[in-house]
């Protein structure tokens, strides 16, 4: 797990990128961290937010070191944690239904990046909709994203390519996806501390545009431009990222979905105590 001392241990090419694109220099970083900590201690004390650099810095990077925007995003995030207890409470990786969802690969960050960006495969229809609830699926996704953000600074800096696999999507799945659920999911993506750079939908059914248009209605204009729909099978993922980093089920040359699921379960189990302690950080 990262400590504050690890926060800015970056390669030269990454340091150049953050200076040019994110406007992050040693001086600006320390100034912004001081400002945010002072704000959290005074005006933002009701948020009960984490004050360590490694938890503040991803928000600053996501807002390109605009302190006012960072304050708003932090507020939105910790209020969301309060208002969505179904996502942010009982995040115990030893619970059987949580383990089931992790192992079946509903949310799979790949081990290797594409163009420095984290690649996450979201398998929308991997679960049985009669047995598993969407809120638990969102919970698992956020548990994994939180660990990624602590361990992978490149993901904070360059962002995420999300590949939504719609293969196997049935009426049973579709009818449980309500407009309010979509709205909450979009709100979470837009206020989380890792930036989605591309939202790619593969194995898309012909009626997907109805759902996409609904999703877009909750998005900022910038986010709308990042959506792309691909018809055809899961092999279309090869048009998005390098083939050699993909699971074999997507025509790739890396691990299987099952192996990646086991990998993430083992990793989340190591954070069991952290997840329990993290529940106290929620707005009043």
Q: Give percent of the chain with pLDDT exceeding 70.
A: 97
* pLDDT, tens only, 161-200: 999 999 988 888 888 888 999 999 999 999 998 889 999 9
**Domain contains 284:** no
- Residue 209: which pLDDT band, with cuts at 50, 70 and 90? confident
**Domain contains 63:** yes
> What pLDDT, on a 0 to 100 scale, did the predictor assign at position 142?
97
Burial 139-152 (b: 16+ CB within 10 A, else e): bbbbbbbbbbbbeb
- CA distance readout (Å), 19 to 13, 31, 63: 10, 15, 14
Q: Are residues 175 and 253 in the same domain?
A: yes
**Domain contains 15:** yes
Phi, psi (rounded to 5 degrees) for 94: -95, -10
User: When comparing pLDDT for 7 and 238, which is higher?
Assistant: 238
* Mean pLDDT, range 105-130, rounded to an integer: 95
Of 55, 83, 111, the position where a domain reaches its end is 83
Q: In what order do the strands lie in the sheet with 107-109?
A: 107-109, 118-123, 160-165, 196-202, 227-229
> What pLDDT, on a 0 to 100 scale, did the predictor assign at position 6?
45
Cβ atoms of 147 and 274 closer than 8 Å: no
SS3 108: strand
pTM of the model: 0.92
* pLDDT, tens only, 84-103: 999 999 999 999 999 999 99
pLDDT at 48 over 60: yes
pLDDT at 2 over 70: no
Q: Which two structure tokens, joined as six digits, stand for 216?
A: 């877009």
* Mean pLDDT, range 154-160, rounded to an integer: 94
Cβ atoms of 258 and 250 closer than 8 Å: no
CATH number assigned to the domain comprising residue 34 = 1.10.8.20
Q: Are residues 49 and 71 in the same domain?
A: yes
pLDDT at 8 over 70: no
Q: Give percent of the chain with pLDDT exceeding 90.
A: 82
pLDDT at 228 over 50: yes
pLDDT at 284 over 60: yes
Of 83, 105, 127, the position where a domain reaches its end is 83
Q: Is 187 exposed, middle or buried (0-12, 13-18, 19+ CB in 10 A)?
A: middle
Q: Which two structure tokens, joined as six digits, stand for 175?
A: 């009818």
Q: Are residues 103 and 79 in the same domain?
A: no
- Residue 9: which pLDDT band, with cuts at 50, 70 and 90? confident
Q: Are residues 130 and 265 in the same domain?
A: yes
**Domain contains 89:** no
- Supply the DSSP string of 237-260, one letter for each residue: GGGTS-GGGS-GGGT-SS--HHHH
**Domain contains 279:** no
Cβ atoms of 25 and 19 closer than 8 Å: yes
**Domain contains 90:** no
Of 83, 104, 126, the position where a domain reaches its end is 83
Q: Are residues 128 and 195 in the same domain?
A: yes
Distance CA 24, CA 145 (A): 23
> What pLDDT, on a 0 to 100 scale, did the predictor assign at position 63?
94
Largest CA distance in the chain: 54
Q: Are residues 75 and 100 in the same domain?
A: no
Q: Are residues 153 and 66 in the same domain?
A: no
CATH number assigned to the domain comprising residue 206 = 3.40.525.10
Number of domains in the chain: 2
Distance CA 81, CA 85 (A): 6
> What pLDDT, on a 0 to 100 scale, did the predictor assign at position 185?
92
Phi, psi (rounded to 5 degrees) for 50: -70, 140
Domain hosting residue 77, numbered range: 4-83
């Amino acid at each position: 797990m990262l400590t504050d001392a690890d926060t800015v241990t970056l390669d030269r090419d990454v340091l150049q990128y953050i200076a040019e694109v994110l406007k992050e220099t040693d001086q600006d970083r320390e100034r912004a961290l001081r400002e945010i900590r002072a704000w959290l201690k005074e005006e933002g004390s009701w948020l009960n937010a984490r004050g360590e650099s490694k938890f503040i810095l991803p928000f600053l990077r996501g807002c390109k070191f605009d302190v006012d925007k960072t304050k708003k995003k932090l507020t939105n995030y910790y209020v969301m944690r309060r208002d969505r207890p179904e996502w942010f409470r009982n995040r115990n990786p030893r619970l059987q239904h949580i383990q089931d969802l992790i192992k079946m690969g509903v949310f799979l960050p790949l081990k290797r990046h594409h163009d420095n960006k984290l690649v996450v495969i979201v398998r929308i229809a991997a679960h049985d909709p009669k047995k598993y609830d969407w809120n638990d699926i969102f919970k698992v996704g956020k548990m994994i994203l939180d660990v990624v953000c602590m361990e992978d600074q490149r993901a904070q800096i360059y962002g995420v390519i999300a590949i939504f696999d719609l293969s196997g999507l049935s009426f049973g799945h579709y009818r449980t996806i309500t407009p309010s659920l979509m709205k909450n999911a979009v709100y979470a993506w837009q206020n989380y501390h890792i930036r989605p750079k591309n939202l790619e939908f593969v194995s898309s059914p012909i009626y997907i545009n109805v759902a996409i248009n609904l999703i877009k209605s909750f998005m900022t204009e910038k986010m709308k431009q990042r959506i792309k729909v691909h018809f055809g099978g899961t092999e279309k993922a090869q048009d998005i990222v390098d083939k050699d980093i993909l699971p074999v089920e997507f025509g790739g040359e890396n691990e299987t979905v099952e192996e990646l699921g086991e990998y993430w379960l083992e990793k989340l189990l190591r954070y069991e105590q952290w997840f329990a302690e993290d529940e106290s950080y929620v707005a009043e």
